[in-house]
């Protein structure tokens, strides 16, 4: 069975509760063994004993693993998704080869245990070394125990979902804070981007007014001035639209993204700052690069964070050119890569693992969220973000993302 649901680790306090349940079950039913089993990810081709009763004669230790193709009682319950009662396997032609007989267990009562979304979790069962037809009362007791386990799984699932929502909200807040901080840092570039079309609008309006008040009227010239005014107004609108998209607080939205085009837009927004920082920018953007299914704004935010990180790494460099290389390329496995190579101060190799931690910064005035947010964004796109020192000065930060995000499979 396939599902996008996330596998949940069972907390130790829940396992202790389940241990008490199987111990009581074995004691009430006077059997040597009561266990809880769980299907094991990622392939779900085996199940494991995660709780086992502390009763005399129990042959099943915790963490014992069983393949899903050997014909055990629990395997049958899991595959059929139905309870199973075997009074005596030695007297039942269907069960004479059951593996449990080899450890002395000949009777079995087991119930399937399900996740809240209907996926198979495993089983809860009791086994005996003699004939046992398990009365209706015993069956009801074990059924109630199964319901308790499923209730616990439901609570744990809800707890995880609540944590994921909180994590998601925190990530959005961090991403927004990062964008707002970057907005202030890009103020010179924004002013430069808007200044040209706004100046053009003022100039063209003045020209059109003079032509409309001249004697004789110059209507052709006025029309041309109006057309230029409209053109410059559209340019200013495009700049504002790019800024609004990049710095708004919004939910991720997947679409087909041209990584080259998205990168060019980020460079255009940063052009004035790059010039003021005396940085020489080179681009090597691969031809015919595949589109990626991604959130365009989030990928642009990552590119912007990497670009700004490179600028910060070079702001004290005076003995060599401040060169910045932004490259895109195709990778094997239907993936694309973007890298930002600077000629800055690099980083301490011993701190490589910390570079992408939240609130860790090598800058005195740094917030320490840019690279952390970037890593979260790339990982949410099933990608990878990393950093390496160059053979020469500086470092290279790069990310790789699949062209199509794949669903996660579960049994």
- Domain boundary (229, 249, 269) is at 249
pLDDT score at 357: 66
pLDDT score at 404: 80
Distance CA 254, CA 234 (A): 26
pLDDT score at 167: 63
Structural domain includes residue 354? yes
pLDDT score at 367: 37
What CA dihedral angle connects 366, 369, 371 and 374, to 10 degrees?
A: -150
330 and 205 inside one domain: no
pLDDT for 284-331, tens place per residue? 999 999 999 988 878 888 898 899 889 988 988 888 999 999 999 999
Are the C-beta atoms of 287 and 246 separated by less than 8 Å? Answer: no
Q: How many residues does the chain have?
A: 411
Distance CA 290, CA 337 (A): 11
pLDDT score at 61: 96
pLDDT score at 283: 94
pLDDT for 332-364, tens place per residue? 888 999 999 999 988 888 776 777 664 444 444
Are the C-beta atoms of 141 and 28 separated by less than 8 Å? Answer: yes
pLDDT score at 405: 66
348 and 333 inside one domain: yes
Structural domain includes residue 168? no
16 and 150 inside one domain: yes
Q: Tell me how many degrees the CA angle 400-402-408 measures, rounded to the nearest 5.
A: 120
- In Å, what is the CA distance from 24 to each residue of 30, 53, 126, 138? 10, 8, 11, 12
| CATH code for the domain of 199 | 1.10.287
- DSSP string covering 326-363: EEEEEETTTEEEEEEEE-S----GGGGGGTTSTT--SS
Minimal CA–CA distance to 304: which of 155, 164, 186, 150?
Answer: 186
299 and 328 inside one domain: yes
pLDDT score at 281: 92
Long-range contacts of 193-196 (CB under 8 A, 24+ apart): 193/239, 193/268, 193/269, 193/271, 193/272, 194/236, 194/239, 194/240, 196/232, 196/235
Structural domain includes residue 179? no
Query: Between helices 136-185 and 296-314, what is the axis angle to 10°?
Result: 50
219 and 295 inside one domain: no
Q: Tell me how many degrees the CA angle 42-43-45 measures, rounded to the nearest 5.
A: 130
Range of the domain at 152: 12-161
241 and 256 inside one domain: no
Q: What is the DSSP letter of 253?
A: -
Structural domain includes residue 363? yes
- In Å, what is the CA distance from 66 to each residue of 47, 48, 49, 82, 99? 5, 6, 8, 19, 10
93 and 57 inside one domain: yes
Q: Which segments in the chain show pLDDT lower than 70?
A: 1-7, 167-168, 170-196, 239, 241-253, 352, 356-370, 405-411
Distance CA 352, CA 358 (A): 13
pTM confidence score: 0.50
- Residue 242 corresponds to which tokens in the numbers above? 């790019």
pLDDT score at 66: 97
301 and 230 inside one domain: no
Provide CB contacts within 8 A for 238, sequence distance 6+. Answer: none
43 and 113 inside one domain: yes
Structural domain includes residue 22? yes
| CATH code for the domain of 20 | 3.30.450.40
Distance CA 138, CA 109 (A): 9
Count of domains observed in the chain: 3
């Amino acid at each position: 069975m396939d599902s996008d649901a996330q596998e949940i680790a069972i907390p130790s306090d829940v396992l202790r509760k389940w241990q008490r349940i199987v111990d009581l079950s074995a004691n009430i039913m006077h059997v040597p063994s009561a266990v809880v089993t769980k299907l094991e990810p990622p392939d779900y081709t085996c199940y494991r004993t995660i709780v086992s009763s502390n009763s005399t004669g129990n042959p099943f230790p915790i963490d014992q693993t069983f393949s899903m193709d050997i014909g055990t009682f629990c395997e049958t319950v899991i595959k059929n998704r139905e309870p199973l009662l075997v009074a005596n396997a030695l007297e039942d032609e269907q069960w004479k080869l059951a593996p449990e007989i080899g450890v002395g267990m000949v009777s079995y009562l087991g119930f399937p245990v399900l996740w809240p979304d209907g996926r198979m979790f495993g089983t809860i069962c009791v086994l005996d070394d003699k004939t046992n037809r398990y009365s209706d009362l015993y069956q009801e007791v074990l059924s109630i125990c199964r319901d308790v386990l499923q209730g616990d799984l439901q609570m744990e699932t809800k707890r995880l979902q609540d944590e994921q929502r909180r994590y998601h909200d925190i990530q959005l807040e961090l991403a927004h804070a990062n964008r707002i901080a970057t907005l202030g840092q890009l103020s010179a570039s924004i002013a430069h981007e808007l200044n040209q079309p706004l100046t053009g609008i003022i100039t063209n309006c003045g020209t059109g007014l003079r032509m409309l008040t001249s004697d004789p009227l110059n209507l052709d010239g006025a029309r041309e001035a109006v057309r230029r005014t409209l053109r410059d107004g559209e340019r200013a609108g495009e700049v504002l639209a790019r800024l609004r998209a990049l710095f708004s607080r919004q939910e991720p939205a997947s679409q087909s993204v041209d990584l080259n085009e998205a990168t060019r837009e980020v460079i255009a927004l940063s052009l004035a700052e790059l010039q003021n920082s005396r940085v020489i920018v080179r681009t090597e953007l691969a031809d015919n690069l595949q589109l990626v299914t991604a959130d365009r704004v989030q990928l642009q935010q990552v590119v912007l964070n990497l670009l700004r990180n490179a600028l910060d790494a070079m702001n004290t460099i005076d003995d060599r050119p401040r060169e910045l290389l932004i490259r895109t390329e195709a990778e094997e496995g239907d993936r694309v890569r973007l890298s930002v190579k600077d000629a800055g101060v690099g980083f301490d190799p011993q701190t490589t693992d910390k570079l992408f931690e939240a609130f860790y910064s090598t800058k005195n005035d740094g917030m320490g969220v840019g690279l952390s947010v970037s890593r979260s964004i790339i990982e949410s796109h099933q990608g990878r973000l990393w950093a390496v020192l160059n053979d020469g000065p500086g470092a290279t930060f790069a990310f790789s993302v699949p062209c199509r995000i794949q669903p996660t499979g579960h049994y």
